[in-house]
A and B are shown apart, each in its own frame.
Chain A
């Protein structure tokens, strides 16, 4: 059983009288423990695909099975639960809560899973250690660099033990060096059994994945395996 199984996924939007099709029948299967880069230009439908795959949105037609469960026809509350358990998001703009410590940001997903405070605390600290930010747990996002903020976001994606890490242009706001550090962390996660799905338009970011799926006009036009680039270990 594949982790992600999409069959004939369509997503259309109504814009006034026009119906715009963002996805026009996407079939995609992703096995657990792999890394996949979803590429495409602006308007190709890659963001819509990520939203549907991340259970932030529902397909207009088609079926989507996540770890065997049909998640294409769920209520908003059920979708939220699936997101909490199955998917950790990493966004281009970090999307951390300001005026809230790194630790509390990382704890956030656990709050909605009803995990007691002590346990939340312990797990959040462990996740922060894992991304190499131990000692900065009480810093607020404004006191952290972009790279550090993105690490906090990765820790937040990890803390709930979700099998999928979905990263939407995770390095878009970072300089090249920091970008490669962040990619190093994400690749490390694949080694630990996570499935990392990268949405990007940058070829050198996609080069970190073992598979590249390219979209154009709401359809997959290319899907190939590759050998990820070698990550230089930061000095």
Chain B
């Protein structure tokens, strides 16, 4: 019996009772769907962790102003002005050996314009080290050096998205952009970093930190109204570096032992890891769902195939009478259960892809469709069909043609 004939026989038998076939498939559909969703979410989460590293640079700590009490109510992180420019220069002094670079980050969201267009973006004030920490270079022009970074020069470096908006048709280098009415000369354009966990990395403008303090904050207060980025020589030193910074800042801020920290230090790598762990938990749960669904789905296939063998006893008898060997009958039922399971697998792939898409949207990951896993899942569903279809198929093949022919349904 040719493969094609066997397949068409199986499909027709399944199609004949399509509602039943569909219901039987459900377990496998959900099983395979869960597998796909699991792997897709795992990859999405890993990718988002990678993006965190990529956009922030590796081995980075972020120091922010702490939550200040204002008449008993906590104002939330950053509400208190506590980090000073003196803190910044002391941190840069090399006193803590695991600190490599330190950069202040002042951030203002504002309207900027060129001759051609205008755009609302985030304007960062920082220094030369910021580019090193974020491992970001100029595609055209230059980034800040030690001097220009600290100066009050009215120069700006643009991200790719800003370039696209403000200079759609011309080279921005040497041209002027206006930030809150003030003209700045564009000295550099950054390479593209694309989408990050915090949105479009390229939608930004960087100006010298001195300029930011003078022009955008209109004053040169002692406090840093922003963050300090610290890069470490090694990721393994994160704990000790954080402890050292904490001790120093508490000392410099003259905090008593009973006082809470008036600053916060965050380790984005830790955050990313925590996120990864939580997705791993989801993945474990999905794996469990997948295993249980596939097993129950397999039992469902077996059950329906057993029913089918009984219902079609007479058909089996007829086939045997006209020359079907036990092997032919077994193959027919095996191919049928396998087709049922494979079809369930395909629907499961579709369901999994949908779930992956939904999760990607919900968690802000990139959508992944794990092709290798899909192929494996497809084979697994076929395997479920064969394994659970084996017993009914063997029962069908062992039927005695005489008894089967006499069977009254």
In the complex, the chain B residue whose C-beta lies closest to that of A54 is B321
B321 touches A89 (CB 8 A): yes
User: Residues of B contacting A99 with CB < 8 Å?
Assistant: 16
* Most chain B Cβ neighbours within 10 Å, of A81, A89, A95, A112: A112
The answer to the question of A136 belonging to the interface, with a C-beta cut-off of 8 Å to chain B, is: no
Known: A97-B315, A108-B319, A117-B5. A80 touches B405 (CB 8 A): no
List residues of B (124-169) whose CB comes within 8 Å of A's CBs: none
The answer to the question of B323 belonging to the interface, with a C-beta cut-off of 8 Å to chain A, is: yes
Binds A, one of B207-215, B255-263, B325-333, B351-359: B325-333
Name the one of B2, B5, B320 contacting A80, with C-beta atoms under 8 angstroms.
Answer: B320
In the complex, the chain B residue whose C-beta lies closest to that of A77 is B325
A91 touches B405 (CB 8 A): yes
Known: A56-B402, A57-B402. A76 touches B326 (CB 8 A): yes
The answer to the question of A114 belonging to the interface, with a C-beta cut-off of 8 Å to chain B, is: yes
How far apart sit A167 and B4, CA to CA, in the bound complex (Å)?
32
The answer to the question of B173 belonging to the interface, with a C-beta cut-off of 8 Å to chain A, is: no
The answer to the question of A40 belonging to the interface, with a C-beta cut-off of 8 Å to chain B, is: no
List residues of B (298-337) whose CB comes within 8 Å of A's CBs: 314-315, 317-328
- Beta-carbon contacts of A81-110 to B below 8 Å, as 1s and 0s? 101110001010001110100000000110
| Apart from A84-B323, A85-B323, A113-B323, 19 more pairs, CB < 8 Å | A56-B401, A76-B326, A80-B323, A80-B324, A80-B328, A81-B325, A83-B321, A83-B322, A89-B321, A89-B322, A95-B318, A95-B405, A96-B318, A97-B318, A108-B318, A112-B323, A112-B324, A112-B325, A117-B4
In the complex, the chain A residue whose C-beta lies closest to that of B319 is A108
B16 touches A84 (CB 8 A): no
The answer to the question of A156 belonging to the interface, with a C-beta cut-off of 8 Å to chain B, is: yes
In the complex, the chain B residue whose C-beta lies closest to that of A166 is B321
B321 touches A95 (CB 8 A): yes
How far apart sit A91 and B314, CA to CA, in the bound complex (Å)?
12
- Could you name 29 residue pairs across A and B whose Cβ atoms are closer than 8 Å? A56-B321, A76-B325, A77-B326, A77-B327, A80-B323, A80-B326, A80-B328, A81-B323, A83-B320, A83-B322, A83-B323, A84-B323, A84-B324, A85-B323, A95-B318, A95-B321, A95-B405, A97-B315, A99-B16, A108-B318, A108-B319, A109-B322, A111-B1, A112-B1, A112-B319, A112-B322, A112-B323, A116-B2, A117-B4
- Closest Cβ of chain B to A81, distance in Å, is 7
User: Residues of B contacting A56 with CB < 8 Å?
Assistant: 321, 401-402, 405
The answer to the question of A51 belonging to the interface, with a C-beta cut-off of 8 Å to chain B, is: yes
How far apart sit A112 and B326, CA to CA, in the bound complex (Å)?
11
How far apart sit A156 and B323, CA to CA, in the bound complex (Å)?
12
In the complex, the chain A residue whose C-beta lies closest to that of B397 is A76
B402 touches A84 (CB 8 A): no
The answer to the question of A163 belonging to the interface, with a C-beta cut-off of 8 Å to chain B, is: no
How far apart sit A199 and B269, CA to CA, in the bound complex (Å)?
86
- Closest Cβ of chain A to B153, distance in Å, is 83
- Closest Cβ of chain B to A173, distance in Å, is 14
Known: A99-B16, A111-B5. A84 touches B322 (CB 8 A): yes
List residues of A (151-171) whose CB comes within 8 Å of B's CBs: 156, 160
Name the one of A108, A116, A117 contacting B322, with C-beta atoms under 8 angstroms.
Answer: A108
A114 touches B325 (CB 8 A): no
User: Residues of B contacting A112 with CB < 8 Å?
Assistant: 1, 319, 322-325, 328
List residues of B (371-409) whose CB comes within 8 Å of A's CBs: 401-402, 405
B contacts with A, residue count (CB < 8 A): 22
- Closest Cβ of chain B to A83, distance in Å, is 5
Minimum-distance CB pairs A-B, first 9:
A84-B323, A109-B322, A112-B323, A77-B325, A80-B325, A112-B324, A95-B318, A56-B401, A89-B321
How far apart sit A150 and B315, CA to CA, in the bound complex (Å)?
16
- Beta-carbon contacts of B1-29 to A below 8 Å, as 1s and 0s? 11011000000000010000000000000
- Closest Cβ of chain B to A123, distance in Å, is 14
List residues of B (191-241) whose CB comes within 8 Å of A's CBs: none
- Closest Cβ of chain B to A33, distance in Å, is 23
How far apart sit A90 and B402, CA to CA, in the bound complex (Å)?
14
- Closest Cβ of chain B to A233, distance in Å, is 31
User: Residues of B contacting A89 with CB < 8 Å?
Assistant: 321-322
- Beta-carbon contacts of A1-22 to B below 8 Å, as 1s and 0s? 0000000000000000000000
User: Residues of A contacting B318 with CB < 8 Å?
Assistant: 95-97, 108
B323 touches A160 (CB 8 A): yes
- Closest Cβ of chain A to B402, distance in Å, is 5
In the complex, the chain A residue whose C-beta lies closest to that of B327 is A77
- Closest Cβ of chain B to A43, distance in Å, is 15
How far apart sit A88 and B93, CA to CA, in the bound complex (Å)?
101
* Most chain B Cβ neighbours within 10 Å, of A57, A80, A83: A80
- Closest Cβ of chain B to A87, distance in Å, is 9
How far apart sit A111 and B318, CA to CA, in the bound complex (Å)?
13
How far apart sit A89 and B405, CA to CA, in the bound complex (Å)?
11
User: Residues of A contacting B321 with CB < 8 Å?
Assistant: 54, 56, 83, 89, 95
In the complex, the chain A residue whose C-beta lies closest to that of B315 is A97
User: Residues of B contacting A96 with CB < 8 Å?
Assistant: 318
Known: A77-B326, A80-B325, A95-B314. A51 touches B319 (CB 8 A): no
How far apart sit A84 and B321, CA to CA, in the bound complex (Å)?
8
In the complex, the chain A residue whose C-beta lies closest to that of B324 is A112
User: Residues of A contacting B326 with CB < 8 Å?
Assistant: 76-77, 80
- Closest Cβ of chain A to B321, distance in Å, is 5
User: Residues of A contacting B323 with CB < 8 Å?
Assistant: 80-81, 83-85, 109, 112-113, 160
User: Residues of A contacting B5 with CB < 8 Å?
Assistant: 111, 117
- Closest Cβ of chain A to B37, distance in Å, is 39
User: Residues of B contacting A111 with CB < 8 Å?
Assistant: 1, 5
